[in-house]
Amino acid sequence: MTDFVRFLAAWALLHESADEGWKAAIARGRAQSPGDAEAGPDAFVDGLAALVESEKERLKQELAQQGDQGHATRGEDAALAAQVDAVRFELAELRGRIESLQASIDALVAQKGD
């Protein structure tokens, strides 16, 4: 069990270090001017990190907008469900009247037969 916890601790430390390194690369990349990424591999990685971060933020916004549209769809689904329930109620009412009419006709036919 201790090895497993130590493994998770090592993973968390690595993740934390990588996260801090990533954040630093993004900050350096954002501070770059056009053409600075050609200064070497580190500058290229920093510029790329900044570009990836910008794209990630755009993706988050798109997903949030799609989530908002999903709520609208759920609202439309609720309205459609309400309409279906209203139609079901009307059909049940109509069915009840037809059954009542059929019972009356059956009673009239039974009286005429007597």
d(CA 55, CA 33): 18
d(CA 20, CA 27): 11
Q: Give the tokens for residue 61.
A: 């916004």
pLDDT at 27: 92
Per-residue model confidence as pLDDT tens digits over 56-100: 889 889 888 877 776 657 777 788 888 888 888 888 888 888 888
Per-residue model confidence as pLDDT tens digits over 4-48: 888 888 888 888 888 888 889 889 989 988 888 778 888 888 888
pLDDT at 93: 87
pLDDT at 31: 92
Of 45, 20, 19, 43, nearest to 32 by C-alpha is: 43
Q: Give the tokens for residue 60.
A: 């988050």
Q: Which residue shows structure tokens 């908002």?
A: 68
pTM attached to this predicted model: 0.48
Q: Which residue shows structure tokens 């997903």?
A: 63
Distances (CA, A) of 110 to 5, 39, 105: 86, 103, 8
Element (DSSP H or E) covering residue 114: none
Element (DSSP H or E) covering residue 44: helix 41-113
